[in-house]
Each structure stands twice: as structure tokens, then as C-alpha cells.
A and B are shown apart, each in its own frame.
Chain A
């Protein structure tokens, strides 16, 4: 069988898409998460309900939306509501089964920083900020993150906690009684991280041709490797073809993350 070649971004996006279920209601984040959800809907999850923070429910975009407020999301959607309603009635009330997001930094316990590198008041790098992520991470049943596997992106502890993972461990999150269960998977260009019983992210799978040691080298904490380490299936020719149709100008997919 011919082996398809793919970029790291394509590898991440395909693997993220596979994590969505046909009966999921997904709150879709900007960038690669958006691509992953649209890929899933065009492949194994045709009934996936895509919710966008702009207030769109059940979007069926005819083209890849560059922004998550694109007009193609509205035409043919199930419903459009105000931003207050999408966050209060849909997300906070508990109708969202999965949040799909990126993250500049993700730490050992799945806490995410999308706000600032360095001191908050005197930032070294000012990032865009929370957007919807603070509440999505708290209130969606589970969360999936897509982030390239680089040491600076996976610190032991985030400079700023924009959204909650397991805080300092699973019991800390449980003690707060948040309605969402927290991070389920972090998809990187090297493999998949999943929380163990304590809420610590461990290496659960590697992509074809990747050694566990590579992932460990590119993680800011002493990354543990699952006893039952899996290897993901390579992106198929079909998955890649559909994905590339969405992004003909390769705005997202050409990048190495």
C-alpha cells in the first residue's frame, strides 16, 4: 500500500478528528481544532453537532472557515443565538460533550496558558487570551487539545493558568465540583497524551516512526510512558484528501506547528 506523506499539522489534525464521536456536541476552537471537527463530520461522524462561540449551533460549513465567525457557519445551521446564550444556556448549562481547543502552553496536569509568557503585568509575550477557553475547559464534559510537541509548550507548570485542567492533581479539580471532567487527550505531532488516575499527563500513544524518547525529550517535565503504549494509525489517503480540500491554500496545514 502506498504511504501518504503528511505534515506535522496534518498528522495532529487527523488524529484529533478521530477522537470525535458521531453523537458528540463539540464546542469548536479556532485554527486546527476547527479543521479537525470539520474533517470528523465529513468522515466518521456525520451527525457531529458543531457549536461555535459566535453563537452558531449545528453548523455545516460549505468551505473551511478561516475565522470561527465566518458566514458559511450560519447558512444552513440549526440555530443561531447570542453569545451570552451560547456560553450560558449551551455550555454552562451542560449541553456540550467535548471542547476542542489549541493551547500555547499545557502543563503536567493539563492546565492551559493562552494568556501570557512571563509576568502578567510586564509580559514577555502577550498571547491573545482566554476567548472561550476558560469556560469550555470547565464546563464541557471532556476536552481535547491540539499542540505541537515542543519543550517550551509543555512546561512543568504554566506561567499563567488561563483554563483549568486538573490543577495540581485530579482530586483538586474534583474538590471544586466543576461540571466538566477535564482534559481527555492532548494531541501532539509526536503522539497522544492522556491523564492517568492522578490527572498527570502521560504518553499514551506515539505516531508511526516516533520513539517514546522523542516525546520525553520534548516535554518540560519527566514524561512517563504508558505501560500499554499504543501506536496511532498513519493518516489515510482519504483523510488527507478531505483535509486538504478544506485548506487549499495551506494556511494551517503546511505549518510544522
Chain B
């Protein structure tokens, strides 16, 4: 049965006020179009979980969608701080819960595996364990060693962007795969956004590349250029200039609201956003092809 859904409907039906949302993707494949749709639909009181909140959550926090963030690195990668998340935390207006990358991803992995928690080796640092009561210590039952545990994270909804999916939600993705698979398996509901919708035969031609199977997916949305200013490997480049530009925009609240007006509220969807970026940006983000060698699965 087809799960193809317009992004607007998927967000309206599957993201509810108060939900814990995990918009996945480590630098790569960040589903900005979905974040913008959530802003346009004025969802409220969300708990926004991501290892790196990145610009997508900075923008959603600026738009008033969030009550809390759960993260492990709240920076603009290579640029500096996420100014809005930081200012809201410093002002005491935004709740936060903090991990290291490993412990954050371990939470999601436990959630994806249907486990209550997972252990990790202790790091000796101590302070994050002290301030976040979700970190616990237990004795390894097979030795006297202590291990650190974190509880499963099972978001209400995960949003995962991929290069290609079929109508049933079977997804091929490549490049940095981050925590995409774990987020999809951990979440109660999963929205897939895809650069391309392909015939199931394309998926079946390379089953090792099916990182997320349709059986874990609730809705599939065809959203080309969904990830900009993040990127989709092989499709378009990361817009580093915009990541630097956001550092300037986000320094001043008035500029942020003007940016949201111009690029989120007053555009109807991702197509219109992409057209609005214009041919110069399109050309700058174009990427020359570099194909892998095909593999032979054999005919049995």
C-alpha cells in the first residue's frame, strides 16, 4: 500500500503539539523542509531531540515551536555557537537535557532495539553524569566493573531524509548515515522525505543499501532539495555560505523574524523555497557525479 503523502499532510497528521521529535541526520540529510513545515503549522511545546540541534532546531526554537531540546553538541559546526538555542538556555526560557554524542546515540540505539537501556564504558569525566540523572551506573553482572547506562530514547516521531525511496517507504541512503536508521527504528511514527521516489525494482536491485525498510515507515513524502542548507550526498552540496550567514542573521532577533517571514512563512513549500534561492545558489551547490562500481548480487 502506498504511503506517499504530501509533506504538509504528513506533518499535520503525524506531528502533534507536545511530541518528542527527532529530525535525524548528522550534518548530512537534515530535513529542513520538514522543520519549516512544522514552523508554518505553528506546532508548539515540542521536545526537539537531535545529537546536533544544528540550524534546523535553532530556527524551530526561534519560531516558538519548542519547550525543550535534547542534544549532545549545540553548535553551528565549524562556525561557532547556535545563538538562539544558547540565548534561550542562558535566559532560562528553554529546558535542556544533555549527553555526549556516544551516550545520545546509545539512547537511540537502545530505543531502536526495544531495550530499556544500554551500557557504555565509564569515561572518568563525571560532571555530565552528575548533572543529568538519566545517566546511571550499574555493576556489570559478569565482573565487578561499573558501567554507565542511559535509557532508551523512543521519540514520538522521527523525520528521516533519504536519497531515494519507493512508495512503501523502503529507503536507499548513502554517504554519512549518522543515526538515521536508529532514529527510524526507535520512533513511534516515521516520516520519510526523499529526493526521488523510485520503482520498488530499484530498491530490490541493491538490498544492502536499504538502510530503512518500509515496515518501519509511516509516511513517504517526495521533497527534492529537502535538506538545504544541509546537503544530500551526490545530489547537491552543503551550503556552507548559508551556515556562515546564519551566524550573522541569528545575532539579532529582528533579523531572525525577518528571515523566517521571508523564507518560511511566506513560501508555501520546498519547491517555492528552492526557486526563490535562485539560479546562482543552484549553480553553486551543483555537484559533479562520482559513481561507485556496481556490485554483482548473482542470479539464483
Which residues of A approach B to under 8 Å, CB–CB? 30-31, 34, 53-56, 65-71, 73-75, 80-84, 87-88, 91-92, 111, 115, 120-135, 137-139, 160-164, 167, 173, 176, 178-179, 251
Contact = CB atoms under 8 A, between A and B. Distances in A.
A230 B216 CA distance: 60
Given A69-B28, A122-B92, A123-B89, 4 more contacts: A66-B79, A80-B176, A129-B75, A179-B121
A123 to B, nearest CB: 6
Interface of B: 26-28, 51-52, 71-75, 77-79, 81-82, 86, 89-90, 92, 98-103, 105-106, 108-109, 120-128, 131, 174-179, 181-182, 231, 233, 237-238, 240, 243-244, 287, 290
A158 to B, nearest CB: 9
B89 A83 contact: no
A121 B95 CA distance: 10
B102 A69 contact: no
Interface majority SS on B: helix, strand, loop or mixed?
Answer: loop
Contacts of B120: 92, 135
9 contacts: A70-B27, A84-B106, A125-B90, A130-B101, A131-B101, A134-B123, A164-B126, A251-B78, A251-B244
Contacts of A163: 123, 125
Contacts of A68: 27, 77-78
Given A83-B51, A129-B73, A130-B72, A138 B290 contact: no
B123 A126 contact: no
B102 A135 contact: yes
A80 B175 CA distance: 7
B123 A69 contact: no
Nearest to B108: A84
A146 B276 CA distance: 41
B125 A87 contact: no
B77 A75 contact: no
A124 B182 CA distance: 35
Contacts of B75: 30, 128-129, 131
